[in-house]
Amino acid sequence: MDNINKPIQSVTIKSTQDLGSFVRTFRVAQKMTQADISGLANTGNRFIVELENGKPTVQLQKVLDVLDTLGLEMVIQRKGRY
């Protein structure tokens, strides 16, 4: 994961499709396979496929585990500028 320390801009996620697309793009940029992520996150490959495809009923804890495996975290903030 040689690109892991490169800064990324924040991203606004409004749907499971947005999240899945972001995870896929980030994973590929890290030169990791779906199997790599599923092994490191201790989840099944099918879950990674469903997450990247934007399945609306994915388990939140597993999503958080995958994000952590990728060196990412979820931050919740108010919309707009407060």
Assign domain 16-69 to its CATH architecture: Orthogonal Bundle (1.10)
Give the tens place of pLDDT for each residue, 58-75: 999 999 999 999 999 999
Output the pLDDT for position 9.
Answer: 78
pLDDT at 6: 59
Return the ∠ at Cα 75 (arms to 31 and 20), rounded to 5°. 40
Return the SS3 of 2: coil
b/e per residue 20-56 (b: at least 16 CB within 10 A): bbbbbebbeebebebebbbeebebeeebbebbbebee
Q: Is 82's pLDDT higher than 70?
A: no
Domain positions in the chain: 16-69
Q: Please state whether the predicted TM-score (pTM) of the whole model is above 0.75.
A: yes
Give me the pLDDT at residue 79, please: 86
